[in-house]
């Protein structure tokens, strides 16, 4: 690196008691504007009022050198003299300093030494591309990294910032496109040069075109409507008069009603067509982008912050996006300083209209303090600039409001994050639940209406316009629509897009059919209201469909239908018995018609007598099967992982680094899928549309909220409900935030091996059992199951097969499901050998770094005759072995509903009934005996929970758990209840 080159990273130490202010994106122009003057003055006041030592950091884009004509780089500073003088005076004080980080719009300073010198001298600042601050606190040294932030944006990232010829996409936009826009002198494009993200220029153009160019002239579009209506009035009036002449009952009020309905129908149809066409056009133009940031706003920088926090950093601070943020990430945080300039940004609009682009004056910065701990405060102030039109204010869902000045909106470590993170999952599920309910109601209403005779007067009015067969047919179709809506309610509850499309179409058709059926205006209004609700919340229904599975299934169903029709046609041609043979085309039509109960074509008697009921049942069956395939959730195939599977390897690495929970290793079961986000993994399997997660997501603490939000979106996109099995207490706040509910299911028994002793009166029975087994010549040996000798492996597999029910290991949440696999290095296998040297019992444990020890995977013992206490002996020897290795914890069996049985949940009538019920079940399911068995080792009790996303999903989730645990015999949760066989689990007298 040349001697005078800008350093890549400036390393600075912040002493205890000092203060740091990080500010960015002033974009000071060469000619001061009201917005730049206001921001510079506010910041100058803050610097002038500074007390004590500290550091002022300009984190990128301080002076505007990209959009301005090349000249003196310090001109923008001189145009804002008060700020320049305040900063230079600050830099000259002892114990204070100024650091200038070069960003995107001032990137020229990286390679232009003369310009860099001018700016550095004007401010008395040190220059760098990034900074790392070692902040001295009472907790020790806390490292904070500060970057301008443009490197996280693909549109502004440099390949080599020191290269004068390196020109990111945003530079071309600012230097070439925006000057052309300004030169056009079109007032409706004012603010294009102040866009927060220049690559959104096409969307900005579309919005301004809609609201400021087209909207003022919409009145002229009414002229074609008026002309069309005037031309149609004579025809409508003639129709009303004709009806009145036939009956002598039509009065002027009814004529006007007919005319009004016709006019409204025309307006609705034409307006709807125009709205759809306009929205499609606006969306098409808006989606023409000049590039993308790749991720929404600060997501790329926040992802980097999570990695840094996981690596021991306290924080990452950036600028660039002009969207202020402070997000807590476990023991650290991510912050974006926002901006100190006028910014044009987009705001969502109502009714699917284009977003509204509004100009606001923003000012804000981040303050850091070195005290007993690192403290951070984010200050934000903003005020809307003039210029938004009345239509834009009406269209926007929300408009920026003015604040009194920069004020603290977020803090670390105690304060809230900002902006508040709103998880859309609860609202999404509420919309789907309501939609499913009202659709089911509309379906019931359709069925009720179909079997209820219409009002005579309304039916007579309809019969004057159409033949009687039409209302009769409409009634039958309304009934079919009702059945279809009831069938669609489940798909709507899952948020499936194709179910939403079908429901909207059926509701629209149902409304028309109600009118034709008998003038049932009320039922039509309900159908349209439900359709309007679905349209209003259309974004809540985006779940996909398993296209490959649906296509294969439909092929099978279609093939079955074709085969049935072909065989039936051949039978109709062959078995005529003296009657005249039907032409094959007519026979084909007659057989196919019977699939839909159409018997208008007569088939030969014997053939017809057989085919009519058979095909009459087959047709609806095929239709039901097709509907089930089309509207079922995405199917998740059970896994059979090949050796070297990349996802399994990635999951194994994450579990190794972050898997502290006693259940974490069970995330590596072969039948579990893995969802990755950042440096975290969620282990899950899908059973009948229920996504069952176990254990809790594994990864750095800073990623808990985002990884769960991302996974929930993933499940929603596939139409799955979500349940968690074996959740820990520390994850419950995350689940609750996403709208889920928890249910206590029991406790894990964790023995502290460093405190465990066999001495003492309360250990007498356990001590006697262990000594008795040892006296009879039983021994225990310890192995790594990944490196067993083949001969011993075969003997153990034979012994384990004696006590296992079925051909595979059962379980999902608390068992690994495999033994002696070479990939599972680091497990602990303890084998009990009898006096004759044969293995008689075995326990396998998986690593559990969170308790500095191991967690029980499986227990097996021989069916042979052995003294009581064999498994007690094995557990005690394992505790001693763990202690000898310098480790601490050993997790034993799960005790289902332990707190209820122990009376810790209260003495109310409900708790007493629960306790009585569990004790009755314990006679055959060992619920209470397992608790008392674990209690012999004086463990710590760690509660576990089942988590579900909605009350109506409790039963499907329970069935999914039963399937996952491969334990249909018991109506309880997987390994939370162990089979009653003595060979499957230890008992108090084992």
Task: Pick the most confident of 413-417, 488-492, 638-642.
Answer: 488-492
Q: Cite the DSSP H helix spans in 521-546.
A: 521-536
The pLDDT assigned to 119 comes to 94
Q: How confident is the model at residue 558 (pLDDT cuts 50, 70, 90)?
A: confident
Average pLDDT over all residues of the chain: 81
| C-alpha gyration radius of the chain | 37
Domain boundary among 506, 540, 574: 540
Within-domain flag for 862: yes
In a domain, 267, yes or no: no
| 512-534 pLDDT per residue, tens | 888 878 778 788 889 999 999 99
Is residue 821 domain-shared with residue 735, that is, in the same domain? yes
Tell whether 727 and 761 lie within a shared domain. yes
Q: How confident is the model at residue 980 (pLDDT cuts 50, 70, 90)?
A: very low
Tell me: pLDDT of 969 over 50: no
**Angle subtended by helix axes 521-536 and 425-450, to nearest 10:** 160
pLDDT for residue 143 = 96
Domain limit, last residue, from 585, 602, 630: 630
Residue 972 clears pLDDT 70, i.e. is over it: no
Query: Helix, strand, or coil here: 198?
Result: helix
How far is Cα 127 from Cα 763, in angstroms, rounded to an integer? 70
Reply yes or no on whether the pLDDT at 3 is more than 80.
no
- For residue 238, the model assigns a pLDDT of 60
pLDDT higher for 99 or 168? 99
Does residue 572 contact residue 591 with C-beta atoms inside 8 Å?
A: yes
Whether the predicted pLDDT of 643 surpasses 50: no
The rounded distance, in Å, linking the Cα atoms of 647 and 855 is 24
- 610-614, 726-730, 812-816, 823-827: lowest mean pLDDT where? 610-614
In this structure, are residues 661 and 695 in contact, taking their beta carbons and an 8 Å threshold? yes
Contact (Cβ atoms closer than 8 angstroms) between residue 977 and residue 927: yes
CA distances from 840 to 329, 801, 843, 875, 876 (A): 49, 12, 11, 14, 16
Structure tokens at 501: 């499309």
Q: Say yes or no: 729 and 867 in one domain.
A: yes
Residues 584 and 624 in one domain: yes
Confidence (pLDDT) at 284: 58
Assess whether 771 and 836 both reside in one domain: yes
| Six-digit token string for 54 | 């500290």
Per-residue pLDDT at 538:
85
- Inside any domain, residue 450: yes
Same domain, 664 and 617: no
Q: 445 lies in which domain range?
A: 429-540
**Token pair in block for residue 453:** 């005779």
- Residue linked to tokens 């679905």: 534
Averaged pLDDT, 122-127: 94
CATH number of the domain encompassing residue 105 = 3.60.21.10
pLDDT of 804 above 80 = no
Count structural domains, the chain: 4
Question: How confident is the model over 164-174, as a mean pLDDT?
Answer: 84
Q: What length is written for the chain?
A: 990
Distance CA 260, CA 262 (A): 5
Q: What is the pLDDT of residue 482?
A: 86
Please report whether residue 173 resides in a domain. Answer: no
Beta strand pairing call for 10-14 and 131-137: parallel
Are 925 and 981 found together in one domain?
yes
Q: 10 Å Cβ neighbour count for 895?
A: 26
Q: Which helix (H) or strand (E) holds 609?
A: helix 605-630
Q: Please tell me the predicted confidence (pLDDT) of residue 464.
A: 62
CA 518: distance to chain centroid?
46
Contact 672, 683 (CB under 8 A): yes
Query: Do 531 and 557 lie in a common domain?
Result: no
Lowest mean pLDDT segment, chosen from 279-283, 742-746, 956-960: 279-283
CA distances from 215 to 209, 384, 391, 392, 395 (A): 8, 22, 8, 10, 12
Spatial CB neighbours of 596, under 8 Å, sequence gap ≥ 6: 619
Render pLDDT for 874-894 as a digit per residue (tens, 0 to 9). 999 999 999 999 999 999 888
Phi-psi region of 148 (alpha: psi -120 to 50; beta: other; left: phi over 0): alpha
Q: What is the pLDDT of residue 840?
A: 92
Instruction: Give the model confidence (pLDDT) of 908-938 as tens digits.
Output: 666 666 666 666 655 545 666 677 788 888 8
Question: Cα separation of 100 and 125, whole Å?
Answer: 6
How many other C-beta atoms are found inside a 10 Å radius of the C-beta of residue 571?
18
User: Would the pLDDT of 379 be above 90?
Assistant: yes
127 vs 423, residue with greater confidence: 127
Measure the CA dihedral 276/280/281/282, to 10°.
100
Domain boundary (504, 523, 540) is at 540
- Give 730's pLDDT tier (boundaries 50, 70, 90): very high
User: What is the secondary structure of 252-316 as a DSSP string?
Assistant: HHHHHHHHHHHHHHHHHHHHHHHHHHHHHHHHHHHT--S---SSSTTHHHHHHHHHHHHTT-SEE
DSSP codes, 212-244: IIIGGGGGGGHHHHHHHHHHHHHHHHHHHHHHH
pLDDT greater than 90 at residue 813: no
* Structure tokens that stand for 366 in this block: 């981040």
In degrees rounded to 5, what are phi and psi of residue 240?
A: -65, -40
Give the pLDDT confidence of 652-706 residue by residue, as tens digits: 999 999 999 999 999 999 889 999 988 899 999 998 889 999 999 999 887 888 8
Q: Could you tell me the two tokens for 886?
A: 């310098």
How is the beta sheet containing 131-137 ordered, strand by strand? 10-14, 131-137, 140-146, 315-318, 332-336, 325-329
Q: Is 169 part of any domain?
A: no
696 domain residue, yes or no: yes
pLDDT at residue 439, rounded to an integer: 92
Kindly tell me if the per-residue pLDDT of 213 is higher than 50. Answer: yes
Give the domain CATH number at 691. Answer: 3.40.630.30
Please indicate, yes or no, whether residues 532 and 556 belong to a single structural domain of this protein: no
List the one residue out of 743, 550, 706 whose CA is nearest residue 634.
550
Q: Are residues 557 and 585 in the same domain?
A: yes
Count the Cβ atoms, other than its own, within 10 Å of residue 76: 27
* pLDDT of 293: 46
Token pair for 862: 């021989």
For residue 353, tell me if it sits in a domain. Answer: no
Residue 219 lies inside a defined structural domain of this protein: no
pLDDT surpasses 50 at 976: no
Which pLDDT does position 465 carry in this prediction?
Answer: 63
Same structural domain, 533 and 552? no
Distance CA 745, CA 725 (A): 9
pLDDT value of position 78? 92
Asked if 326 and 471 sit in the same domain, the reply is no
Contact between 747 and 895 under an 8 Å Cβ cutoff? The reply is: yes
Average pLDDT over residues 201-208: 80
- pLDDT band for 313, please (50, 70, 90 cuts): very high
- pLDDT, tens digit, 9 for 90 and up, residues 227-269: 766 666 665 556 555 555 444 444 555 555 555 666 666 666 6
pLDDT per position as a tens digit, 27-57: 999 999 988 999 999 999 999 999 999 999 9
CATH number of the domain to which 458 belongs: 1.20.120
Calpha distance 162→6 (Å, rounded): 9
């Amino acid at each position: 690196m040349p001697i005078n080159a800008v350093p890549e990273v400036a390393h600075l130490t912040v002493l205890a008691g000092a203060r740091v202010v990080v500010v960015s994106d002033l974009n000071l122009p060469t000619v001061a504007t009201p917005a730049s003057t206001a921001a510079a003055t506010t910041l100058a006041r803050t610097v002038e009022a500074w007390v004590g030592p500290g550091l002022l950091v300009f984190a990128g884009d301080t002076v505007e050198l990209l959009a301005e004509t090349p000249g003196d780089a310090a001109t923008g500073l001189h145009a804002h003299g008060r700020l320049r003088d305040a900063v230079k005076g600050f830099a000259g004080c002892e114990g204070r300093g100024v650091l200038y980080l070069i960003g995107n719009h001032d990137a020229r300073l990286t390679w232009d030494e003369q310009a860099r010198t001018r700016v550095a001298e004007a401010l008395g600042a040190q220059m760098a591309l990034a900074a790392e601050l070692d902040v001295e606190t009472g907790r020790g040294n806390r490292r904070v990294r500060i970057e301008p932030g443009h490197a996280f944006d693909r549109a502004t990232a440099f390949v080599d910032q020191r290269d004068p010829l390196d020109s990111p996409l945003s530079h071309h936009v600012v230097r070439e496109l925006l000057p052309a826009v300004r030169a056009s002198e079109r007032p409706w494009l004012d603010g294009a040069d102040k866009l927060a993200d220049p690559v959104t220029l096409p969307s900005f153009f579309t919005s301004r075109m809609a609201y400021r160019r087209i909207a003022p002239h919409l009145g002229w579009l009414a002229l074609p409507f008026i002309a069309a209506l005037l031309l149609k009035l004579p025809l409508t009036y003639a129709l009303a008069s004709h009806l009145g002449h036939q009956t002598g009952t039509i009065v002027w009020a009814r004529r006007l009603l007919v005319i009004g309905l016709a006019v409204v129908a025309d307006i609705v149809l034409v307006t709807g067509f125009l709205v759809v066409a306009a929205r499609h056009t606006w969306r098409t133009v808006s989606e023409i982008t000049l590039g993308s940031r790749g991720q929404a706003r600060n997501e790329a920088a926040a992802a980097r912050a999570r990695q840094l926090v996981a690596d021991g950093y306290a924080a990452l601070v950036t600028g660039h996006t002009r969207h202020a943020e402070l997000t807590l990430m476990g023991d650290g945080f991510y912050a974006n300083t926002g901006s100190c300039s006028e910014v044009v940004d987009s705001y969502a609009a109502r009714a699917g209209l284009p977003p509204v682009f509004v100009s606001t004056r923003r000012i804000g910065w981040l303050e850091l303090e070195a005290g007993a701990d690192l403290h951070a405060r984010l200050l934000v102030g903003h005020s809307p600039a003039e210029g938004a039109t009345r239509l834009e204010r009406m269209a926007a869902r929300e408009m920026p409001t003015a604040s009194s000045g920069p004020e603290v909106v977020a803090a670390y470590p105690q304060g809230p994050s900002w902006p508040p993170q709103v998880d859309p999952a609860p609202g999404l599920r509420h919309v789907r639940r309501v939609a499913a309910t009202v659709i089911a109601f509309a379906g019931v209403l359709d069925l009720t209406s179909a079997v209820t005779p219409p009002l005579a007067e309304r039916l007579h009015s309809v019969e004057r316009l159409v033949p009687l067969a039409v209302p009769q047919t409409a009634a039958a179709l309304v009934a079919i629509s009702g059945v279809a809506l009831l069938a669609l309610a489940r798909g709507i509850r899952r948020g499936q897009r194709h179910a939403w499309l079908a429901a909207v179409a059926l509701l629209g058709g149902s409304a028309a059919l109600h009118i034709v059926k008998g003038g049932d205006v009320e039922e039509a209004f309900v159908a349209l209201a439900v359709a309007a609700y679905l349209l209003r919340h259309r974004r809540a229904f985006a779940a996909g469909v398993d296209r490959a599975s649906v296509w294969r299934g439909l092929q099978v169903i279609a093939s079955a239908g074709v085969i049935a029709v072909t065989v039936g046609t051949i039978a109709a041609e062959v078995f005529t018995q003296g009657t005249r043979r039907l032409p094959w085309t007519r026979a084909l039509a007659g057989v196919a018609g019977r699939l839909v109960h159409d018997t208008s074509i007569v088939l030969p008697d014997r053939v017809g007598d057989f085919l009519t009921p058979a095909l009459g049942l087959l047709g609806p069956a095929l239709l039901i099967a097709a509907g089930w395939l089309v509207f079922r959730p995405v199917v998740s195939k059970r896994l059979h992982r090949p050796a070297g599977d990349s996802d399994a390897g990635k999951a194994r690495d994450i579990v190794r680094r972050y898997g502290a929970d006693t259940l974490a290793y069970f995330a590596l079961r072969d039948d579990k899928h893995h969802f990755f986000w950042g440096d975290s993994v969620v282990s899950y399997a899908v059973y009948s549309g229920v996504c069952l997660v176990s254990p809790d997501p594994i990864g750095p603490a800073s990623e808990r909220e985002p990884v769960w939000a991302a996974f929930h979106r993933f499940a929603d996109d596939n139409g799955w409900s979500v349940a968690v099995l074996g959740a820990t207490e520390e994850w419950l706040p995350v689940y609750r935030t996403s709208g889920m509910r928890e249910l206590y299911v029991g406790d894990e028994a964790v023995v502290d091996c460093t405190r465990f002793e066999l001495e003492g009166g309360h250990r007498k029975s356990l001590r006697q059992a262990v000594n008795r087994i040892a006296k009879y010549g039983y021994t225990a040996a310890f192995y790594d199951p990944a490196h067993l000798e083949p001969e011993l492996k075969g003997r153990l597999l034979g012994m384990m097969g004696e006590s296992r029910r079925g051909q595979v290991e059962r379980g999902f949440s608390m068992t690994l499901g495999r033994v002696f696999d070479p990939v599972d290095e680091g497990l602990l296998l303890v084998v009990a050998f009898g006096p004759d040297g044969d293995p008689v019992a075995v326990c396998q444990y998986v690593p559990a770094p969170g308790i500095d020890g191991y967690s029980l995977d499986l227990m097996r013992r021989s069916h042979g005759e052995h003294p009581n206490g064999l498994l007690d002996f094995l557990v005690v020897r394992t505790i001693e072995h763990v202690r000898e290795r310098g480790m601490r914890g050993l997790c034993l069996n799960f005790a289902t509903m332990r707190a209820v049985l122990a009376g810790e949940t209260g003495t109310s009538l409900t708790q007493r009934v629960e306790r009585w019920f569990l004790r009755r079940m314990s006679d055959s399911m060992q619920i209470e005996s397992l608790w008392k068995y674990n209690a012999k080792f004086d463990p710590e009790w760690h509660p576990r929970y089942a988590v579900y996303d909605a009350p109506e999903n409790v039963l499907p989730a329970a069935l999914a758990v039963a399937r996952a645990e491969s334990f249909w015999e018991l109506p309880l949760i997987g390994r939370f209840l162990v089979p009653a066989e003595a060979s499957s689990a230890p008992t108090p007298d084992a």
